[in-house]
Amino acid sequence: MPKAYVLIIAKKGVQKEDLLEPIMDIEEVRETYQVLWNFDVVAKIVVKDIRQLKHTIISKIRQLPEVEKTVTLIAAEQ
């Protein structure tokens, strides 16, 4: 099962806390964290395949009105 970490930047004026709940409501999201520095939230996603990962990011996370930008890090299997 592919895992990925999505680094999320909120739109201006959106509080980090207001972004956590809508992201956690997405079925594939397992964990979320508020972070400091260039990003606002990191979400851990677990999916059955890369197609589902792409769908989750493009059609679910990026479509949230609070989200400005995302960067995805796909975890490599060890």
Which residues is 67 bridged to in the sheet? 10
Of 4, 21, 36, which Cα lies nearest the Cα of 66?
21
pTM: predicted TM-score of the whole model, two decimal places = 0.91
- pLDDT tens for 11-45 read 999 998 899 999 999 999 999 999 998 999 999 99
Of 33, 41, 37, 32, which Cα lies nearest the Cα of 11?
41
Fold of the 3-74 domain: Alpha-Beta Plaits (3.30.70)
Q: What is the residue extent of each domain of the chain?
A: 3-74
Q: Is 18 helix (H, G, I), strand (E, B) or coil?
A: helix
Question: By CB neighbour count within 10 A (0-12 exposed, 13-18 middle, 19+ buried), where does 62 fall?
Answer: middle
